[in-house]
A and B are shown apart, each in its own frame.
Chain A
Amino acid sequence: MARAALPGRLTWQLGRVVELRDETPRCRSIALELPDWPGHRAGQHVDVRLTAEDGYQAQRSYSIASAPEDDELVLTVERLEDGEVSPYLTGELRPGDELELRGPIGGYFAWDQALGGPLLMVAGGSGVVPFRAMLRYWATGERAVPSRLLYSSRSLSDVIYRDELMDLAADDGADIQLTLTREWPEDWPGHRGRLDRALLEQVAWPAQAQPLVYVCGPTTLVEAVASTLVELGHDPSRVRTERFGPTGT
């Protein structure tokens, strides 16, 4: 943790790209060295700003994928074919390049050990990114509350952090539940189909357990999951949502 940002201002700062990793054919993780990073909470995001030679600027928000205690700040970006920023971040950026960003941003969609649980995370597609931060942070703590990730992807090759999630399940006791919505291997042992009421009833904790729920992904998925959870009796004030807009899962 370097020096703290001035209170009341978010400072644009330059991060140096130290590593790029392809997570799926459409998603790339970008590890950044940020000497002046003030530290963050799991679930927060950053704003990334690109500036063209003619001065035109484009700005987007990306969830932080790294835990607060990780050495580098990691963003995982999904390439949108008609995007203005993500094709550059996932295709052009190289190690050693600098990237302008400000943050950390947000507080509503953040989780700290002190908030307790059980911690239930529901993700569609790249909505899993802030949950990597939460799971890594959870795993380094006392694990005083159980954690469960319910993650919907189109196919196995679209599952972001697949190996790491399996390790978190095997080594740290996180409950990782994957559902594939479009295609699956014949011997797929996980769930099949959308994150609908039946699946939520089957794998989410019941409302009586009063889990603290975070739902992140495309808008339609987030709204369907959040409203179903409320129908199932969950306290709306314990269901926190973050919508990524119309991006596909």
Chain B
Amino acid sequence: MDALDGNAIAGELFEHFGVEMTSARGSCAHCGATTQIAELRVYARAPGTVARCQGCGNVVMVLTVIGETRRVDHQSFQLPQRPGQSSQCHD
């Protein structure tokens, strides 16, 4: 299946983090590769949207939106902590 990329989840990540995130860099917890979110491989047809590391292919982020409830699990994609921002994986 042709993957999308991190640009495709920009809106949901903006809503979750409160800032533009496609240029944000993070590191893959599996292989250590550092990439910008826009460069992640994104698969939107799973039950939930899955973002994979472009280096090793492992899942680094999962997003689900059901009605008004959004969950973003990025435990495998380490982002620099921003001031005042919680690292929890829910809205």
Residues of A within 8 A of B (CB): 7-10, 45, 47, 61, 102-103, 105-109, 218-220, 240-246
Contact = CB atoms under 8 A, between A and B. Distances in A.
Interface in B9-41: 10-11, 14-15, 18-20, 22-23, 36-39
What DSSP secondary structure best describes chain B's contact surface?
A: mixed
Contacts of A243: 2-5, 7-8
Nearest to A109: B7
Interface string B33-63: 0001111000010000000000000000000
Contacts of A107: 10, 20, 22-23
Contact of A61 (B11, B19, B36): B11
B79 to A, nearest CB: 15
Contacts of A9: 15, 18
B7 A106 contact: yes
Contacts of A240: 38
Nearest to A63: B7
Given A106-B22, A109-B38, A10 B14 contact: yes
A246 B1 contact: yes
A102 B39 contact: no
